[in-house]
Structure 1
Amino acid sequence: MSFWENFWDIFWWFIYVYAFFAFLFALFVIIGDIFRDRELNGWLKAVWIVFLAFLPILGVLVYLIARGKGMTERARERARQNREASDAYIRQVATASPTEEIAKAKALLDAGTISPDEFEKIKSSVLV
């Protein structure tokens, strides 16, 4: 009987492949967390890496149990810092300086596109 002829062999093969990739994902997330953790000194990082290299399944389970909560807090803090940095960058790039806004409004006034009253409104709103 061939492997592909038995449904349950195929089913369990997919379960094993899924578990293997889930383990690899967890392992790489843990290794990334070890190197990003600023509170963990170099020796402890080395111990964790050796532990993960020689006893990978046990190492992943122990790390998740011992440091899982801190892992979540560090990930949340990194996400907050990334969001703040991207928001600051967007604000910096998206908004023009008051001088640029007034210069644009003056060009529109000189072209006759806006009236002097509209120019004064724009100027007063930019300077606020």
Structure 2
Amino acid sequence: MGSYVNLAYDYPVLGAFWTVLWIFLWVMWIFLLFRVIVDVFRDDSLSGGAKTGWLVFTIVLPFLGVFVYVVVRGKDMGRREQAHVRAQLDETNRYIRETVGATGPAGEADQLAKLSEIRARGDISDDEFRRAKEKVLHH
């Protein structure tokens, strides 16, 4: 049985550090590659041929293609990302406003009418009605 068994103490700490570093860099590289590809498709100022060219360049020569893309178009890449996030936020806010507007709180007149009904039934006192009315009118 002359086989060599690798034990944990056969792998030095510096070797583990370098392995973790290379894995981290590889994962970051994958993220950057996908960010570039997404940016190519997101950019409306590029023609179809230019998008195809950048895409082929980043797939055939990935390291050089991504490096050149980030150097040439990196500044605009950040602006496009900000515009995309801003558009998503505006869309979300619009959706929330529409949804809340349909089921949101009633206007002041409706709230005061409800308060009057509650007072007329005797569920709240005149003092409680006055405080609630002030809250509605000053809110």
TM-score, with structure 2 as normaliser: 0.72
In structure 2, the partner of 1:78 is: 84
In structure 2, the partner of 1:109 is: 116
- Percent of residue pairs bearing the same amino acid type: 30
Instruction: Answer with 1 or 2: which has the greater Rg.
Output: 2
Shift of 1:8: 1.9
Q: State the alpha-carbon separation in 2 of the partners of residues 55 and 9 from structure 1.
A: 29
Shift of 1:71: 0.3
Q: State the alpha-carbon separation in 1 of the partners of residues 62 and 106 from structure 2.
A: 55
Shift of 1:77: 1.2
Describe the SS at the equivalent of 2:54.
helix
Shift of 1:3: 7.8
**AA paired with 1:24?**
I
Q: State the alpha-carbon separation in 2 of the partners of residues 47 and 111 from structure 1.
A: 70
- CA separation of 1:15 and 1:90: change in aligned 2, threshold 3 A: same
Describe the SS at the equivalent of 1:46.
helix
Superposed, 1:1-128 pairs within 5 Å as 2=6, 4=8, 5-92=11-98, 93=100, 95-96=104-105, 98=107, 101-112=108-119, 113=124, 114=129, 118=133, 122=136
- CA separation of 1:86 and 1:110: change in aligned 2, threshold 3 A: same
Describe the SS at the equivalent of 2:46.
coil
Please tell me the root mean square deviation across aligned C-alpha atoms, in Å: 2.8
**AA paired with 1:104?**
Q
Shift of 1:85: 2.5
Shift of 1:90: 3.1
Structure 1's unaligned 5+ residue stretches are none
TM-score, with structure 1 as normaliser: 0.78
- Tell me the number of residue pairs that the alignment of Structure 1 and Structure 2 aligns: 121
Contact 1:3/1:10 (CA < 8 Å) preserved in 2?
no
